[in-house]
Amino acid sequence: MISLLFEDSFKKLNSNIKKSVDSFYKNYSISSKKEFDVKGCMGIEVITKAMQQAMSTGNWNLIRFKMNRSGITQVLNRMS
């Protein structure tokens, strides 16, 4: 499940980068000489946030694979 979650998040990251590049070059003109900021559009925290949320809440939502698993992890009470 972790590998599927990573794959889903990585595909989402790639599509976000592609959208950013496409929108930049759609409005690009040679005379403006603007530079494309690669670090600004990457947003690698997308993968990190997806992993952290899945591990902490136990809700595994994989959009591409149409898998919605909830309650995979369990909080244990250690009273004794």
Domain residues of the chain, as ranges? 2-28+35-69
Q: Global pTM? A: 0.68
Greater confidence, 3 or 33? 3
Q: Is 80 exceeded by the pLDDT of residue 9?
A: yes
Q: Report the chain's mean pLDDT, rounded to a whole number.
A: 78
Nearest-angstrom CA–CA distance, 74 and 11: 28
User: Residue 31's pLDDT is what?
Assistant: 62
- Both structure tokens of 11: 């595909």
Label residue 41 by pLDDT band (50, 70, 90).
confident
Nearest-angstrom CA–CA distance, 80 and 41: 49
Q: Tens of pLDDT along 12-33?
A: 888 888 888 888 888 776 666 7
Nearest-angstrom CA–CA distance, 23 and 3: 30
